[in-house]
Structure 1
Amino acid sequence: MNLDVFLSLFSLMLISLAVFLLSKKLKLPYTVLLVIAGSLLIPLSRLEFFSFITSFELTPELLFFVFLPILIFESAYNMNIRNVTENIYSIGSLAVVGLLISTLFVGIGGFYAFEFLGVDIPMLVLLLFGAIISATDPVAVLALFKEYGAPQRLTLIFEGESLFNDATGFAAFLVILDLITEGYHGFSSAGAALFSFVTMLGGGIVFGLIMGFLFAKLIETVKGNEHLEITLTLLVAHFTFILTEVISEHLVIGGQEIRLSSIVATLIASMVIGNFGRYKMSPDVEEYMEKFWGYFAFVTNSLVFILMGLLFADLAIDLNIALWPILLCIVTVVIGRAISVYPLMWLMNKLGRERPIPRNWMHLMAWGSLRGSLAVIMVLLIPDDLTVPNWHFNFSVKDFVSAVTIGSIYFTLLVKATTIGKVMHALGIDALTGMEQVGYHKSKAQIYDKTLHKLDVLLNDQQLTQKQYDRLKLRYESLYQIACLECKNAIGESDSLIENMLRTYALGIQKEELKDIFQRGEIEEKTYKKITNMLSIQTERIKRGQQQVQSVNEHFPIDSLERFVLLVSRLIFWRDHSFKDQELYRYYRALSKISGKVVKELNAVEGSSLSAVFDDKTALEKLLNLYKSIQENTHEKMLAVIHKNEELLSQVNEASAAQSLAVLQEDTLDKLHKNEIITNKLYIMLRHELEQKSH
């Protein structure tokens, strides 16, 4: 029997890979084809030879304690807290208020709709369904958004809503499930439900912050040991989730049971690691981490969606009986989503706390809300023997909720997911902005220019004949000239487009150079974060058409969340975040270096392929003067710090030299080992000696 389970698991993974390749050829959403493939496996499993295929089942424990933490961590780890806080009102209103509106509408509106048709479905059952189906699935939506080119801010709002409403939806689900099992007793039950809902969310946030900072500190402690760093990221997801559940089972304050949301706690802890803990990781681990978790999320989602198809095809309730309830519930859910989007987004625009949300974005928010894995998890968590008063059907409450939930998921995957691209195009959401059009043609020009240089190398290396070289060069020179011409046409008479493109190009150079400086150990983590914050603010200003910097002495303040993080760090770890003289000198030196790099690259534009694109000498000169001023300003501040402490320069230079030499020695040793010039035994011995010297 155990062999059948393992054979089933790996067969499903193999089928998922085949489906993924097929989705690329058919240009259909991967998740849609997975569900269809899962449905087709039921008749296949009835053949004796393939009977093992359904041996691996989605159990509530497997989904809840293994799969769900992986999905939460992978999404939350890559979310930028600064971007989230800038859109927190729209994200928060959709994730909390919007979900509750949708849940109540599906429950109450669905009750009266069924009553109108002469079917008596208890309101609490429909509220339970409303809590399950109102949470949007980030995986399916974001994959489609990336494919069809949705605006970055719209994608962020969708992703933020999907992550946070998972927590809200699950909390609402647990509260309503308690009301069904314990009964509704008027105001006291409503008050207890509200208290439970608030403590789940609030307690989850607090516990998530504690776990996030604790694991970030542990990662910093083991920095340099790659296996331990990766293991700690695995632990922060699953350990936070499971420990929150354990605490919720035993936490009693003043005779009142307190339940914390494991989803909220894991979400917050994962965001802390992604935004603060990642700077404490070794450079190689930090680069590898997204691929590592991306793979786990891919496998998890593949299994969940293909097994979702198996669930639907094997429903206990007769599809002929369930068809009309499913259709009625689908209509109710669609209307409930619209009611939870349009009024809230209209109110957000009226309040003016954030940039306005365009109306066409609202249309996509209302239509593009797909449902997925969390809804299946909640359905499986419903007790098989759950019942309510006046339930007179020959199928159970769980069978009914399973049927309408999976039917609604099928609708979002088969209808909404396959039409999102067309809806985006019809609404004009996928249209390129002015900067994107220029960037598109500029990138093509750079690609063809690099191709032309490569052709020269291939000819010199005798990998091409003169005739082949002439033919290819003629072709790519033509493409290069066309791309340059189209780029100029896209710019037109605009004075700001080239300047903004140049500024974006310059900021990209700074970010790349800053990361290299940080990885070489020339600056501390807090310096890296401070400069990264400054560059992020400048990038956002350019996107909004604002001035990049107001003066060379401008102070870029940290946001309220960052201030909170620093306060927590001081209180828990007694860490001083003020800059000492050495750190201040390194900070100004890093600013000087990245500004100097930009000056060098901008001076080189004149004789490069970029000159055909960035041919606005006025804009180029303006930006060059800005960065020269910044470089001179930071150099003066460096001198002021040195003047204050005359021994500082020699101390910093000695420390920097020691760090550079250590990095060089480690890189040399790694290359010797990788190229098999030394044995594993010698590599371990030499590595140990280098580590001893560094301490």
Structure 2
Amino acid sequence: MSLASERNDIELDEKIKEQHRIDSLNLLLYMMLLITTVLTVWMFKHRRMRYMHETGLALVFGLVVGALIRYTSVPSAISHVEVKAVSHPTYNGTLPPDYLWYHMKRKLENRTYAYRLTGEVEDLTGNQFAQQATFDPEIFFNIILPPIIFNAGYSLKRKFFFRNLGSILCFAFIGTTISAFVIGGVQYTFGLLFTYKPSLLDCLYFGALISATDPVTILAIFNDLHVDVNLYALVFGESVLNDAVAIVLVTAIENYAKLYATAADGFEAIAFLKAIGLFFYVFCSSFLLGSVMGCATALLTKFTHIRDFPLLESSLFLLMSYSSFLIAEAADLTGIVAVLFCGICQAHYTYNNLSDEARVRTKDFFELINFLTENFIFSYIGVSLFTFPKHQWDFAFIGCAFVSFSKT
């Protein structure tokens, strides 16, 4: 190997090391945000100040840090090479390829490097640290979100939840669906009067998104005031299920768009009925999958002696629960629905079969993970407000959103 080749390898290693350093700094940034949030929450609880929930604090801290990254960081040079696509038998040019292979010719050897698709580039010479602050969506949906949803089902007060199950399902299914269509319809109607002229499908997407409310502050106040347990169960149960309903609603809207490509300009009854059918298929299949995984865990813990080894018992519990999410996603179902009902079944059946040590360990573990991941998400939202490169501000749309949401 020549001296020039060795020098190039050293420079490449330094570049990889620098990228690793930037990734570590981004993780450290969020760790410091979480530490600050924890200490501030402790101070609020110690001083008995209850006018702000910890998720709101995490959002505020994220906004501050995001602004600092956006406006005070020194831009770092990002090397790039402009390329043009050529005709290729396996590439039609309509969508970007998954990888780009870059051939580097040297005096004594040739090397090929693969560059993976990460998304559309907005700023070629911007702040690399700010760009890295945006986490991979796959990490968010596959790693961060499932523990939050599972803990929501696992921490349910089963007695009062099942006593009010009919009302909870009515609020979650019918209420969320009506809210999504009312907000979407009002948003579309108001939008026609202004300049942005939205499509009906986009407004329905927005309606489904905004209808999935998460009343964390209200539940915290209910807990402090010791309100009626049935009222608490109704609000908490509806807030748990409406996330799953909203996600399946979005899936149904996407299926409608696929079945009827011109849905933005009209209405097609057959495609609408098929989308409704897919809605119930996805939800029911995900529900059955999660329930089966929860019951399978209950049977394993009941008819085996794995409870004699609490560490293995807790590991099996965690892996079976997380597998329900991955199986649903791999089967093109909704992992959120599956892991939610898996958590409910685990709480109702498996929990009674666990050893005392495993009960304490699983409860504490998921409570801790839920607290950290929930605050991480709100911190990330705050940071992304300034670092995300594709924000579009339309004050007419925002004003109409407030009006449409108040109508519900």
Q: What amino acid sits opposite 2:279 in the alignment?
A: F
Pairwise CA RMSD of aligned residues?
2.3
Identity across the alignment (%): 23
Q: What amino acid sits opposite 1:244 in the alignment?
A: A
Match of 1:75 in 2: 152
Q: Deviations over 1:83-141 (max 9, x none)?
A: 22211122111100001101101111111112233541111100011111111226454
Q: What amino acid sits opposite 2:40 in the alignment?
A: L
Q: Residue 2 and residue 178 in structure 1: after superposition, are their counterparts in 2 closer, same or farther (change >3 A)?
A: farther
Q: Contact 2:176–2:212 at 8 Å: present in 1 too?
A: yes
User: Equivalents in 2 of 1:318, 1:216: separation in Å?
Assistant: 46
Match of 1:244 in 2: 328
Match of 1:334 in 2: 406
User: Equivalents in 2 of 1:147, 1:301: separation in Å?
Assistant: 20
Match of 2:372 in 1: 299
1:230 maps to 2:314: yes
User: Equivalents in 2 of 1:139, 1:292: separation in Å?
Assistant: 20
User: Equivalents in 2 of 1:268, 1:32: separation in Å?
Assistant: 28
Q: 2:219 aligns with which of 120, 134, 142?
A: 142
- The structure richer in helix per residue is 1
Q: Contact 2:194–2:396 at 8 Å: present in 1 too?
A: no
Structure 1 position 217, deviation (Å) = 2.0
Q: 1:264 aligns with which of 337, 345, 350?
A: 337
Q: Contact 1:13–1:299 at 8 Å: present in 2 too?
A: no
User: Equivalents in 1 of 2:193, 2:128: separation in Å?
Assistant: 44
1:47 maps to 2:120: no
Q: Deviations over 1:552-611 (max 9, x none)?
A: xxxxxxxxxxxxxxxxxxxxxxxxxxxxxxxxxxxxxxxxxxxxxxxxxxxxxxxxxxxx
Structure 1 position 318, deviation (Å) = 6.2
Which moved further from structure 2: 21-30 or 59-68? Answer: 21-30
Match of 2:81 in 1: none
Q: Deviations over 1:635-676 (max 9, x none)?
A: xxxxxxxxxxxxxxxxxxxxxxxxxxxxxxxxxxxxxxxxxx
Give the gaps of 5 or more residues in structure 2.
1-18, 76-126
Give the gaps of 5 or more residues in structure 1.
249-259, 337-695
User: Equivalents in 2 of 1:129, 1:263: separation in Å?
Assistant: 19
User: Equivalents in 2 of 1:73, 1:138: separation in Å?
Assistant: 17
User: Equivalents in 2 of 1:304, 1:37: separation in Å?
Assistant: 12
1:32 maps to 2:56: yes
Match of 1:176 in 2: 253
Q: Residue 119 and residue 15 in structure 1: after superposition, are their counterparts in 2 closer, same or farther (change >3 A)?
A: closer
1:201 maps to 2:219: no
Structure 1 position 60, deviation (Å) = 2.2
Match of 1:216 in 2: 298
Q: Which has the higher contact order (CA 8 A, sep 6+)?
A: 2
Q: Partner of 2:308: helix, strand, or coil?
A: coil
Q: Contact 1:138–1:163 at 8 Å: present in 2 too?
A: no
Specify the structure having the higher radius of gyration (Cα).
1
Q: Contact 1:77–1:271 at 8 Å: present in 2 too?
A: yes
Q: Contact 1:124–1:176 at 8 Å: present in 2 too?
A: yes
User: Equivalents in 2 of 1:304, 1:155: separation in Å?
Assistant: 24
1:116 maps to 2:193: yes
Q: Contact 2:133–2:387 at 8 Å: present in 1 too?
A: no
- Residues 100-115 of structure 1 correspond to what in structure 2 (within 5 A)? 100-115=177-192
Q: Residue 198 and residue 318 in structure 1: after superposition, are their counterparts in 2 closer, same or farther (change >3 A)?
A: closer
User: Equivalents in 2 of 1:57, 1:216: separation in Å?
Assistant: 39
Q: 2:382 aligns with which of 296, 299, 309?
A: 309
Structure 1 position 240, deviation (Å) = 0.2
Q: Partner of 1:32: helix, strand, or coil?
A: helix
Structure 1 position 212, deviation (Å) = 0.7
- Residues 259-658 of structure 1 correspond to what in structure 2 (within 5 A)? 260-316=333-389, 321-336=393-408
Q: Contact 1:96–1:168 at 8 Å: present in 2 too?
A: yes
Q: Contact 2:157–2:233 at 8 Å: present in 1 too?
A: no
Q: Contact 1:69–1:237 at 8 Å: present in 2 too?
A: no
Q: Partner of 2:60: helix, strand, or coil?
A: helix
User: Equivalents in 2 of 1:78, 1:263: separation in Å?
Assistant: 16
